[in-house]
Amino acid sequence: DQQVKQNSPSLSVQEGRISILNCDYTNSMFDYFLWYKKYPAEGPTFLISISSIKDKNEDGRFTVFLNKSAKHLSLHIVPSQPGDSAVYFCAAGASGGYNKLIFGAGTRLAVHP
């Protein structure tokens, strides 16, 4: 049973518009969440995180929103750029879990001119 789900395998967005990537989780013990970006033939790189004491975290063009009651988080990229084209992984962890991150299956974002 997948504890972290990214139900959209792919997303296509026009340059300059908003990209919204979604993630759902089932384990109530998760209290911190991260987004990673992955280009082909490279390892994932950390993008942005949020802890359960917040409902929003912003870093430049990237904003993560957390809805604990719905067990849902989303990553907003505004404005989207062609260089944002990559696979985005949502990950969740529980405090005291020794960094045992559980990853979603990923969403492939394509930003076209």
Which residues make up the interface to another protein (CB under 8 A)? 4, 6, 9, 32, 34, 36, 41-46, 49, 51, 89, 91, 93, 95-106
- Tell me how far, at minimum, the Cβ of 32 lies from another protein, in Å: 6
Q: What is the CA angle 31-37-39, rounded to 5?
A: 155
Q: Which is nearer to another protein, 85 or 93 (CB)?
A: 93
Distance CA 75, CA 24 (A): 12
Q: Which is nearer to another protein, 100 or 113 (CB)?
A: 100
- Tell me how far, at minimum, the Cβ of 31 lies from another protein, in Å: 9
Sequence-distant (≥ 6) Cβ neighbours of residue 91 within 8 angstroms: 4, 33, 34, 35, 36, 101, 102, 103, 104
Across-strand partners of 38? 87
- Tell me how far, at minimum, the Cβ of 16 lies from another protein, in Å: 28
